[in-house]
Amino acid sequence: MTQAQTEEFKAGLDGVIAGESKICLIDGDNRRLSYRGYNVADLVKYSSFEETAYLLIKGYLPTPDELSAFKKALIEARQIPTQILDILALVPVKTSPMDMFRTIISTLSQYDPEVDSNTPEANFNKAIRLIAQAPIIIAAYHRLRHKLKPIEAKKDPSSSLAANFLYMLTGEEADEYAQKVFDICLILHADHCFNASTFTARVTAATLSDMHSAVTSAIGALKGPLHGGANQEVMELLLKVNSLDNVDGYINKMFEEGKKIPGFGHRVYRNCEDPRATILRECSRELGIRNKNTKWFEISEAISQIVVKRAEEKKKPIYPNVDFYSASTYHVLGIDTQLFTPIFAMSRMAGWCAHIIEQHANNRLIRPQAHYLGEKDLNYLEISKR
Ligand code: ACO
């Protein structure tokens, strides 16, 4: 490695521009996140997850006809092969829903009619199928592992992906506000530029591998607790704290032990709160009030205050990220904690597919170098002499 290369090295690729994209812009200094130029704060107010998915994948907001055709295609794709249902029934119940999801998305490729085609048309069709199939797989496995029969997806054109997912979990129609909040969660998690899982998807796609392979790699990356896995860890923390009286003691101890607090800190939002957390805080608050269950929001707020304060004292500021208030929101919606990260994946599927399509459209193999720190020029020692 030359001196110049050594100087360029950034641990964790922090701040490194690793490619070009027109999909998502994060303006960390101004707490602004936009998809294809549209502020997510506007998308959560005026749009839907379906329209946002179209925007991410196609690059522009659809006309009414384009949106209804897209929604129709998504609803028609609300089915999984019976063989997949059979396989799901064989998955050991101890398998986490996230591990199941990675395996089943990979397996789904074997039933996809366009698996090996990377044309823009085939990729668009596959994106529709993956976005539509993901909620079915997650809901079906959840029910199977609780010894319940999976519920068939609704084909009613008025049933949004968000509403249908909540329905498939319980068999009951969620109320309008719950559907709206869940739709907002899906919009907010749909993309986030070159985050770890999306970058993973692009690395796989850049070898000209197929969409299912790229998405499968992305799911593996999302699972980790430093990335999407944090929302589950946030809920586990809330459940352990369990009371406002315990917050200070619990969080102070975590700081003293040098533990990371899940749901705080972000590589890109260094000096401010993640704008998605700001929106989700309001969802969590309002949902708690409507459902007469404000406990989890209140504990979250108390944790947030102490974490921000302690971190500021250390001169290492951290603020809530997207995973923090999504935990209390999903919990009050009645969703099982183990489904939190798969739900993240189900929403990010739109962003992953958009990035895979963009990568395939203007591809170059992604192949960085390493700063070599190992030994050099050693003499090989015969095994009997070691
Ligand atoms: N709790 C306590 N301290 C923290 C936290 C946290 N959650 N996050 C960062 N810090 C501290 C670090 O310990 C470090 O201090 P140090 O230099 O004394 O060791 C300093 O802040 C800088 O943090 P880094 O770990 O260097 O930041 P990095 O950009 O590498 O990591 C990350 C970002 C992984 C998100 C980190 O903040 C973290 O682990 N957070 C908790 C997990 C989490 O919520 N992940 C979800 C992120 S959002 C998403 O992926 C969808």
Q: Report pLDDT digits (tens) over 286-303.
A: 999 999 999 999 999 999
Provide CB contacts within 8 A for 94, sequence distance 6+.
Answer: none
How many whole angstroms separate alpha carbon 311 and alpha carbon 85? 47
Indicate which residues carry an active-site annotation. 227, 266, 323
Question: Is it the case that residue 1 has pLDDT exceeding 70?
Answer: no
Nearest CA to ligand 1 atom 27: 267
* From-to residues of CATH 1.10.580.10 in the chain: 19-224+340-361
Task: Provide the pLDDT confidence category of residue 7 given band limits of 50, 70 and 90.
Answer: low
Beta bridge partners of 38: 35
Q: Report pLDDT digits (tens) over 149-178.
A: 999 999 999 999 999 999 999 999 999 999
Helix, strand, or coil (residue 247): helix
Residues 288/294, Cβ–Cβ less than 8 Å: yes
Q: Report pLDDT digits (tens) over 9-41.
A: 999 999 999 999 999 999 988 899 999 999 999
Task: Provide the pLDDT confidence category of residue 96 given band limits of 50, 70 and 90.
Answer: very high
CB of 280 shorter than 6 A to ligand 1:
no
**Ligand 1 center from residue 286 Cα (angstroms):** 28
CB of 230 shorter than 6 A to ligand 1:
yes
Question: Is it the case that residue 2 has pLDDT exceeding 70?
Answer: no
Predicted pLDDT of residue 28: 87
Tell me the percentage of the chain whose pLDDT exceeds 90.
96
Architecture of the domain defined by 230-332: Orthogonal Bundle (1.10)
**Ligand 1 center from residue 261 Cα (angstroms):** 8
Does the pTM of the predicted model rise above 0.95? yes
Residues 317/225, Cβ–Cβ less than 8 Å: no
Residue 17 CB burial class (10 angstroms; 0-12, 13-18, ≥19): exposed
Predicted pLDDT of residue 6: 54
Length of the chain: 386
How is residue 203 written in tokens?
A: 């690395």
Q: Report pLDDT digits (tens) over 114-130.
A: 999 999 999 999 999 99
**Ligand 1 center from residue 316 Cα (angstroms):** 10
Mutate to test the pocket of ligand 1, among 251, 259, 318 (most ligand atoms within 8 A of CB): 318
* From-to residues of CATH 1.10.230.10 in the chain: 230-332
Task: Provide the pLDDT confidence category of residue 8 given band limits of 50, 70 and 90.
Answer: confident
Predicted pLDDT of residue 29: 86
Q: Which is the CATH superfamily of the domain at 19-224+340-361?
A: Citrate Synthase, domain 1 (1.10.580.10)
Sign of CA dihedral 295, 298, 304, 309: negative
